[in-house]
Amino acid sequence: MEGKAPALPESLKLYSKLLSLGIKVVFLTGRPEDQRSATATNLKKVGYRTWEKLILK
């Protein structure tokens, strides 16, 4: 809920590669729906600029 989780370097690298290939990214997490805002904020803060969908529990 604090929005302080760091990005894993290899995951961020894969994310960037997928975007460069025109692939639409979907994030799937086990976090509950009430953490959507904190999750989206944290993703953007650590470098995940955009995504097609963010799926929570």
What are the extents of the domains in the chain?
9-55
Query: How far apart are alpha carbons 55 and 30 in whole angstroms?
Result: 9
Mean pLDDT over 38-52 rounds to 93
Burial of 15 (0-12, 13-18, 19+ CB in 10 A): buried
**What band does 17 get if pLDDT is binned at 50, 70 and 90?**
very high
pLDDT at 6: 74
| Contacts (Cβ under 8 Å, ≥6 apart) of 14 | none
User: Please, are residues 51 and 43 in contact by the beta-carbon 8 Å criterion?
Assistant: yes
**What band does 3 get if pLDDT is binned at 50, 70 and 90?**
low
Mean pLDDT over 21-28 rounds to 97
**pTM, entire model:** 0.81
